């Protein structure tokens, strides 16, 4: 008995020593991704930012100023999947926000899932095409389901890709404006998802400050603005329009606070996870414009909301108990140059697909060889190629030889080339996966952007920037700024180690260069 008592005393002393040194994992991990965030704008608006938002993150936490994805930007879904799995698209399976279904010749969301049902009116979504586990999946597995894991976003694809296959993902039903989820995640909609977009429609969006104080005001034709949301957002697209206003971010933050309190996050020894996506995409009426006073105001409002949420976390648990990360997805909207002569030119893929098909007809016969295209992917008619007893690799190469000569095209690769490149170097410049990507992947020259047959921009453009910014705040994060490039693949294994869980199953390992106190 004496030996047992001595052992227990020693164990307790060791445990208390570890806790005193800060070796316990964070009680709650809060993840925030911001769609469309341009960190250069934060520098422009620095004097207007609050002390408790982005300034607090940069003053009190660790900032990686060159957080690098090693492939060209392909949308929100691939970047979130890479962040959460620690793997590139070739391994985790998500190569774009959408994919082309060859069976029905249609482009659909990468997360759309007809095998499950929605608790709203709109379509159902899930992570069924994500082939690797996420941080949230590993937390759920290692905690034997005890951890509370919640992902909240207006965009269903963002909500799904932040969390993966486990926990709960909720998003806004674009037809009703209410929060919803799918049977992939829950058997019923949680009781805390009470608010809807309709609850914010009585709001009026006006500048937070005097319009003359805004950086964008001197060059803006509109010196002031005032939008009554229920007049501004109307018709069948009212909730899609609502999603482009700052009050959509308010709706996300309000839901996050409700979920945090509903589940009592951080009240036990098990780490919980709360994930959110905010948006800084421009108004639907201003997609092609540069910096406007509305966009600047949206930044300032988000900064204020971020300050309020950090205060909320500090009040309920304390900064040292919460690990917060904030990052942006490489999905900034294309904005036409308004004050310079920087080259900007449209690229009509629809027209060039017809020319490509004619070229292939001259080589292989009078058939429809090109099945479709979307987001820099060209899909050949593989069923026809097989029926005509043609060699797929040769047809791809013939198509490449023609498409590479088209003005505006910078690079083209075939699926066979990309598979060989991964086997040889384990790296790819494209977000590529064999199951969902096209036969050819191409990129455009700087300044070029894709338009449809009606000359309307599709959203696909030249995107070569690979670096974003990562902010880490709270828990044991030291106050430092790291300028050297750091791979985004290091995030997931680092978070897993800090949370004391297994790394995601496709993660290549490694740690972010942070020396914890």
Q: How far apart are CA 367 and CA 356, in angstroms?
A: 12
Q: How far apart are CA 191 and CA 477, in angstroms?
A: 34
pLDDT tens string 311-322: 999 999 999 999
Band of pLDDT at residue 362, cut at 50, 70 and 90: very high
What is the average pLDDT value for the chain, to the nearest integer?
A: 88
**How confident is the model at residue 336, as a pLDDT?**
58
Model-level pTM? Answer: 0.89
Find the mean pLDDT for residues 154-163: 96
pLDDT tens string 255-302: 999 999 999 999 999 999 999 999 987 665 555 566 788 888 999 999
Q: How far apart are CA 316 and CA 328, in angstroms?
A: 26
3-state secondary structure of 90: helix
Which distant-in-sequence residues (6+ apart) come within 8 Å of 491 by Cβ?
67, 83, 86, 325, 470, 512
Q: How far apart are CA 87 and CA 92, in angstroms?
A: 6
pLDDT tens string 206-260: 998 887 788 887 655 556 788 899 888 888 889 999 998 999 999 999 999 999 9
DSSP 318-367: -GGGEEEEEEEES-PPP---SSS----EEEEHHHHHHHHHHHHHHHH-SS
Cα within 13 Å of Cα(267), Cβ side: 8
pLDDT tens string 363-376: 999 999 999 998 88
- Count of helix runs (H) and strand runs (E) in the chain: 16, 21
Domains of the chain and any CATH numbers: 10-330+465-499 (3.40.720.10), 345-461 (3.30.1360.150)
% of the chain residues with pLDDT over 70 = 89
Q: How far apart are CA 75 and CA 459, in angstroms?
A: 10
Measured from the Cβ of residue 111, the count of other Cβ atoms closer than 10 Å reads: 29
Find the mean pLDDT for residues 163-183: 95
Find the mean pLDDT for residues 150-175: 96
Q: How far apart are CA 372 and CA 393, in angstroms?
A: 18
Q: Residue 6: is its pLDDT beyond 80?
A: no
DSSP category for residue 439? S
Q: Of 42-51, 153-162, 327-336, where does the model show the most confidence?
A: 153-162
Secondary structure, 3-state, 35-81: ECCCHHHHHHCHHHCCCCCHHHHHHHCEEEEEEECCCCCCCHHHHHH
Q: Residue 66: is its pLDDT beyond 90?
A: yes
Find the mean pLDDT for residues 170-183: 95
**How confident is the model at residue 94, as a pLDDT?**
94
The candidate with the shortest Cα–Cα distance to 126, out of 104, 145, 139, 110, is 110
DSSP category for residue 309? H
Q: Cα 3 from chain centroid?
A: 55
DSSP category for residue 118? B
């Amino acid at each position: 008995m004496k030996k047992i008592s001595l052992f227990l005393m020693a164990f307790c002393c060791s445990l208390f020593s570890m806790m005193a040194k800060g070796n316990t994992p964070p009680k709650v991990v809060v993840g925030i991704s911001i769609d469309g965030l341009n960190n250069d704008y934060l520098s422009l608006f620095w004097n207007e930012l609050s002390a408790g938002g982005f300034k607090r993150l940069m003053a009190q936490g660790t900032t990686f100023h060159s957080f690098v994805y090693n492939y060209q930007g392909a949308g929100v879904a691939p970047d979130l999947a890479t962040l959460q799995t620690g793997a590139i698209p070739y391994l985790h399976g998500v190569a774009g926000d959408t994919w082309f279904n060859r069976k029905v010749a249609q482009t659909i969301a990468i997360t759309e899932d007809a095998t499950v049902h929605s608790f709203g009116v709109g379509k159902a979504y899930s992570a069924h095409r994500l082939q690797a586990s996420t941080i949230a999946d590993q937390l759920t597995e290692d905690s034997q389901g005890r951890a509370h894991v919640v992902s909240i976003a207006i965009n269903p694809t963002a909500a799904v890709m932040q969390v993966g296959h486990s926990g709960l993902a909720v998003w806004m039903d674009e037809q009703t404006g209410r929060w919803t989820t799918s049977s992939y995640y829950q058997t019923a909609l949680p009781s805390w998802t009470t608010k809807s977009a309709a609850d914010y429609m009585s709001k009026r969006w006006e500048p937070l400050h005097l319009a003359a104080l805004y950086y964008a005001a001197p060059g803006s034709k509109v010196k002031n603005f005032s939008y009554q949301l229920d007049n501004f957002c109307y018709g069948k697209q009212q909730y899609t329009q609502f999603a482009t206003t700052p009050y959509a971010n308010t709706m996300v933050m309000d839901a996050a606070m409700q979920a945090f309190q509903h589940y009592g996050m951080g009240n036990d020894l098990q780490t919980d996870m709360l994930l959110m996506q905010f948006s800084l995409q421009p108004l639907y009426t201003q997609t092609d414009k540069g910096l406007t006073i509305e966009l600047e105001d949206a930044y300032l409002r988000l900064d204020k909301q971020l300050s309020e949420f950090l205060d909320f976390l500090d009040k309920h648990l304390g900064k040292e108990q919460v690990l917060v990360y904030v990052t942006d997805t490489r999905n900034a909207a294309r904005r036409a140059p308004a004050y310079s002569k920087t080259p900007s030119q449209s690229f009509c893929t629809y027209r060039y697909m017809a020319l490509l098909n004619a070229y292939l007809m001259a080589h292989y016969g009078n058939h429809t060889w090109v099945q479709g295209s979307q987001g820099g992917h060209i899909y050949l008619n593989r069923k026809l190629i097989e029926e005509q007893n043609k060699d797929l690799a040769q047809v791809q190469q013939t198509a490449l030889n023609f498409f590479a000569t088209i003005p505006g095209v910078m690079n083209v690769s075939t699926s066979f080339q990309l598979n060989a490149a991964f086997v040889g170097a384990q790296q790819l410049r494209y977000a590529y996966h064999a199951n969902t990507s096209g036969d050819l992947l191409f990129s455009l020259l700087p300044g070029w952007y894709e338009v449809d047959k009606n000359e309307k921009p599709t959203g696909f453009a030249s995107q070569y920037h690979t670096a974003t910014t990562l902010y880490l705040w709270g828990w044991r994060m030291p106050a430092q700024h790291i300028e050297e490039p750091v791979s985004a693949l290091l995030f997931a294994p680092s978070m897993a180690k800090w949370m004391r869980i297994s790394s995601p199953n496709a993660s290549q390992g490694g740690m972010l260069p942070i020396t914890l106190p």
